[in-house]
Amino acid sequence: MISIVLADDHRIVIKGFEMILGLQPDMEVVGEASSPEEALDMVAKLRPDVLVTDISMGSEKSGLLLCERVVESGLPTAVVMLSMHDEQEYLRQAMSRGAKGYVLKSSEDDALFAAIRTAANGDTYICHELLGAFVQDAINGAKPGAVELTPRESEVVSLAVKGYSNSDIAEHLHISVKTVESQKSKIMGKLGLHTKPELFDYAASHGLIRI
């Protein structure tokens, strides 16, 4: 029996997935979480085979940060990401953070079942809608800068190009304004950018905003 913890900040979504997973004879939902913090605590306590988490809970890409923390903790739990985002950048960052599965919320139920079973077996599953382009990118070589930013840096970029002020970003991420300023400067240097329009172009081309 594959034990599963579900994490999503929409209760109706969790209940929907719990219902369809409960119909599988080899799967059991042992916990539900509505925030990254709650999910991490639950995974540490229950040590499920698989954590199925939304890529965004409360803030953009918070699921990526959760995945990274689960992997770094050494817990015996494989992470499957659920996402509405079909941009390759989201998939690349999920894989680089140690995710064992990536499924679109628009995918068929069978894709989620396959991802869970594959991840529980220690292998990696990518839904067919994204797999072809992902493999082609791997053959051609990763795009420069595609996975250079950490999830937190990506979040800072996303908020900045959406017009959030430094103080707004600081409040949103629960950090100081000075830290925001330092991170923005570091990000610009890391990417070799000099202007906000350049940063906007980067964010658009790497899936950090939708245009």
85: left (phi over 0), alpha (psi -120 to 50) or beta: beta
Task: Tell me the CATH class for 2-140.
Answer: alpha beta
Using alpha carbons, select from 197, 209, 94, 89 the residue that is nearest to residue 145. 89
> How much is the pLDDT for 121?
94
**What single-letter amino acid sits at 96?**
S
**DSSP, res 59:** B
What are the pLDDT digits (tens) for 92-148?
888 888 999 999 988 899 999 999 999 999 999 999 888 766 666 554 555 444 446
Output the CA–CA distances (angstroms, integers) from residue 15 to 77, 111, 186, in the order listed.
Answer: 21, 18, 41
- Tell me which fold the domain 151-205 belongs to: Arc Repressor Mutant, subunit A (1.10.10)
Residue ranges per structural domain of the chain: 2-140, 151-205
Q: Report whether 146 contacts 133 (CB < 8 A).
A: no
Two domains, one topology: 2-140 and 151-205: no
Per-residue pLDDT of the chain (211 residues; tens, 9 = 90+): 999 999 998 888 889 999 999 999 999 999 999 998 999 999 999 999 999 999 887 666 788 889 989 998 889 999 999 988 887 778 888 888 899 999 998 889 999 999 999 999 999 999 988 876 666 655 455 544 444 677 788 888 888 888 889 998 988 888 899 999 988 888 888 887 878 777 887 777 666 665 4
> How much is the pLDDT for 40?
93
Q: Report whether 46 contacts 3 (CB < 8 A).
A: yes
pTM: 0.67
CA dihedral 98, 83, 57, 66 (to 10 degrees): 0
Q: Report whether 112 contacts 125 (CB < 8 A).
A: no
Helix, strand, or coil (residue 200): helix
> How much is the pLDDT for 152?
80
109 — phi, psi (to 5°)? Answer: -55, -35
